[in-house]
Structure 1
Amino acid sequence: MTLPQTARQDERLRRWRLVLGDDGADGTGRPLSGRDAGVDRALGALYRGAPEAGEGRRPAGLGAGAPQLARWLGDVRRYFPSTVVRLLQQDAIDRLGLARLLLEPEMLAAVEPDVQLVAALLALRQALPETTRASARQVVATVVAELERRLAERLRTALAGAPDRGARSHRPRPRDIDWDRTVRANLQHFLPERGTVVPERLVGHARARHGLAQQVILCVDQSGSMAPSLVHAAVFGAALASIRSLDTRLVVFDTAVVDLTEHLGDPVDLLFAAQLGGGTDIDRALAYCESRITRPADTVVVLISDLCEGGSPDGMLRRVAALRAAGVRVVVLLALNDQGTPAYDQERADALAALGAPAFACTPDAFPDLLAAALRDRPPAVPQG
């Protein structure tokens, strides 16, 4: 057997050893040492003895003490990339009931900030001790700042002058040139000796300058399952509020309705003002939004909810039908996050779509173009996947 083959076999055994753990029955006959032993301890502390593991498994090793949990958080950050760290943190909370890992300042400082952590902090904020609240707020501010950096300018650009794909211009700005159409329109000017086309006539996308709606209402379900969507909605709401041509309102609801528009200047304050959890009364929330609409034909209502209505489902549908009849554009987002296909009420989503209110999940990156289409009274492109 050649050395490369031996090395490949050894690597396969190493990987199987890490997968199977150290129960003494892994069958590889390969001990772990160094970094591999550390990785094995970190994973074993989380996954051995989890409820799904079945009988006979050893208990989880995170223990009850804050120092041990803090060490585990440090270990996973040392051994794994940030994307994996976030999954492990969420598993620690979900599988082992470690919500209290967020209740100690030293552990909070060790956690990788992300939207899921912000959602957990917001859900637990009433239980946070005084010594932890400042750290929790800083974590939330860090994540919000990163989302604003990534998403806010994209939203402003999409609404303030995104290319209108339905209209063509023969005097486009450089960034709006449609090079495929331009080349085809100038093929007669091909110069064989230079191997190029001289574009005597440019073809591009016209910029939309008129027709934007003046009112945007984000109506966000603040039940616990929608927490990540609320985080993104707060960031987008703040960005929309900075566009002077728009009158932006952000409304959150469970069985009660709260207008958080006054907090749009500070999305961190807005998130801490929300009350995650509770039931869901979409009909009541839409009734409040309806009462704040002054120009129906110039208004877009974005309802962000999984549609698990605890109020009046028929009333919700009648309310949406009335808004549509008045000229309001209604878009229903079943989720506004990067977590994939959400759980939602399929029957109500289909009923809303039949009323002209399309219902689908949307990633934060797709939201700017989706909202721009709605504001221009065009069918939004439903995100795929």
Structure 2
Amino acid sequence: MSDQERERRWRLAVGGEEEALADPDRRLSTALTALYGDGDDTKKRGRGGLGRSAPSVATWMGDIRRYFPAPVVQIVQRDAFERLGLKQMLLEPEFLAVVEADVNLVADLVTLRSVMPEKTKAIAREVIGKVVAALMERLERRTAEALRGAANRARRTSRPRFADIDWPRTIQANLHHYQPDLRTVVPQRLVGFQRRQRRLVDLDEVVLCVDQSGSMATSVVYASIFSAVMASLPVVTTRLVCFDTAVLDLTDELADPVEVLFGVQLGGGTDIAQAVDYCAQRIERPTKSHLILISDLYEGGSRDALLARLATLVAVGVNVIVLLALSDSGRPSFDAALAAEVATLGAPVFACTPDQFPDLMAAALRREDVQAWAAQADIKVVRAAGE
């Protein structure tokens, strides 16, 4: 062992001031202190344990997986499960009746599920199901309405289906049929959009490629829900691929978003290039495909390989969009240098909230200028390198 490595380990062992440590040692020290630091030490350092102001369970557990071997990770996970009070909380029957729909809670439970007893795991699944149901209710209708891409807005018909009626134009065209006694317009002629009969082979394909490292925990939850919603619509085909250093294709599980969440493994390293390569190999019709890469772009694999693969996809006509986060929180942490290089390839790079995502996908499916859409939505887009 070199003198430099010996000094590094000694600094970590004695718990020196984190400001004196280099990253990633600072992140490692923060993760351990958040779980094992005593109260006085925590107060002196300005932290309050594992409350909402501290790093999320999924984020710091991701750091633990990154820096420690599997046996040590299991020990830390068990300690976290006990020290967070999640075990006792989940065993209380009253908890299910009062729990709020919180995406952060889902991320925490998914992160710790591998160390839960079977009884607790069953209750956790109920909690996750309740949260997912609330989120689906919030997001499903708007997503479905935004993605009605089967309606051809360029062509009109006087015999539209009910869902395709253009009500403002219909009312305008029938104002002379106003009935004073009924105080309403009785339309004699409907105006609507002509629905195209689309075969499966004609449908656009959306591939959500989602980074499941700890820092992306809430993005994974939202991406899973949106994937399930989109998979239920007959207007697009949808694939969900999650990754860390391995690639997990969850497309076959999209009928059950809770099952999808129990299939992901939050935390660990990141190999974005490998995941993008996996998705690229399954894209058969580039000009009808949309790759939505959801990642903070902290690449643990080959940056050059990632940029080369993304450049190829853009060149053959794939609509590549990079979301640095899909969450309700503010501006995320991300690799700014790599983000700028990706933007140079012609792929828009920005963060997006769940409420903005349906409109984003509608713009993408219409092949509109996503950069212009983002500007109208007051979203700050990462500029290309050199701009």
Which bin holds the TM-score, normalised by the shorter protein?
0.5 to 0.7
- The answer to whether 1:145 aligns with 2:107 is no
User: Is the 1:213–1:300 Cα contact (8 Å) retained in structure 2?
Assistant: no
User: Is the 1:164–1:205 Cα contact (8 Å) retained in structure 2?
Assistant: no
Match of 1:384 in 2: 378
Task: Name the CA shift for 1:93/1:256 in 2 (closer, same or farther; >3 Å).
Answer: closer
Question: Over residues 2-38 of structure 1, what are the superposed CA-to-partner deviations in whole Å (9 max), with x where a residue is unaligned?
Answer: xxxxxxxxxxxxxxxxxxxxxxxxxxxxxxxxxxxxx
Report deviation, 1:53: 3.8
Distance (whole Å) between structure 1 residues aligned to residue 349 and residue 343 of structure 2: 6
Match of 1:260 in 2: 250
Distance (whole Å) between structure 2 residues aligned to residue 228 and residue 161 of structure 1: 27
- The answer to whether 1:101 aligns with 2:124 is no
Distance (whole Å) between structure 2 residues aligned to residue 94 and residue 337 of structure 1: 14
Match of 2:52 in 1: 90
- Which protein is bigger by CA-based radius of gyration? 1
User: Is the 1:213–1:375 Cα contact (8 Å) retained in structure 2?
Assistant: no
Q: 1:155 aligns with which of 122, 135, 143?
A: 143
Task: Name the CA shift for 1:364/1:321 in 2 (closer, same or farther; >3 Å).
Answer: same
Q: 1:119 aligns with which of 93, 107, 123?
A: 107
* Between 104-113 and 322-331, the greater mean CA deviation after superposition: 104-113
User: Is the 1:332–1:359 Cα contact (8 Å) retained in structure 2?
Assistant: yes
Name the aligned partner's letter for residue 267 of structure 1: P
Task: Name the CA shift for 1:215/1:162 in 2 (closer, same or farther; >3 Å).
Answer: closer
Q: Which runs of 5+ in 1 are unaligned?
A: 1-47, 63-87, 184-203
User: Is the 1:336–1:362 Cα contact (8 Å) retained in structure 2?
Assistant: yes
- The answer to whether 1:301 aligns with 2:291 is yes
| Equivalent runs, 1:62-101 vs 2, <5 Å | 90-91=52-53, 100-101=84-85
Question: Over residues 287-313 of structure 1, what are the superposed CA-to-partner deviations in whole Å (9 max), with x where a residue is unaligned?
Answer: 100111111111001100000000011
Classify the secondary structure of the residue corresponding to 1:247.
Answer: strand
Task: Name the CA shift for 1:99/1:144 in 2 (closer, same or farther; >3 Å).
Answer: farther
Task: Name the CA shift for 1:245/1:217 in 2 (closer, same or farther; >3 Å).
Answer: same
Report deviation, 1:242: 1.0
Task: Name the CA shift for 1:257/1:50 in 2 (closer, same or farther; >3 Å).
Answer: farther
Name the aligned partner's letter for residue 330 of structure 2: G
| Equivalent runs, 1:277-292 vs 2, <5 Å | 277-292=267-282
User: Is the 2:216–2:296 Cα contact (8 Å) retained in structure 1?
Assistant: yes
Distance (whole Å) between structure 2 residues aligned to residue 366 and residue 243 of structure 1: 19
Report deviation, 1:169: 7.3
User: Is the 1:161–1:208 Cα contact (8 Å) retained in structure 2?
Assistant: no
Match of 1:241 in 2: 231
| Equivalent runs, 1:1-385 vs 2, <5 Å | 53-54=43-44, 90-91=52-53, 100-104=84-88, 105-106=90-91, 109=96, 111-161=99-149, 176=166, 213-380=203-370, 381-382=373-374, 383-384=377-378
Give the aligned CA root-mean-square deviation in angstroms: 4.0
Name the aligned partner's letter for residue 91 of structure 2: E
Name the aligned partner's letter for residue 258 of structure 2: V
Classify the secondary structure of the residue corresponding to 2:208.
Answer: strand
Report deviation, 1:373: 1.1
Distance (whole Å) between structure 2 residues aligned to residue 153 and residue 130 of structure 1: 34
Report deviation, 1:323: 0.5
Classify the secondary structure of the residue corresponding to 2:209.
Answer: strand
Task: Name the CA shift for 1:257/1:163 in 2 (closer, same or farther; >3 Å).
Answer: same
Report deviation, 1:112: 3.4
Q: TM-score, normalised by structure 2?
A: 0.66
Distance (whole Å) between structure 2 residues aligned to residue 146 and residue 378 of structure 1: 31
Report deviation, 1:170: 11
User: Is the 1:93–1:99 Cα contact (8 Å) retained in structure 2?
Assistant: no
Classify the secondary structure of the residue corresponding to 1:342.
Answer: coil
User: Is the 1:256–1:281 Cα contact (8 Å) retained in structure 2?
Assistant: yes
* More RCO (CA 8 Å, sep 6+): 2
Question: Over residues 142-195 of structure 1, what are the superposed CA-to-partner deviations in whole Å (9 max), with x where a residue is unaligned?
Answer: 111111111112111111159989x6979899985679xx99xxxxxxxxxxxx
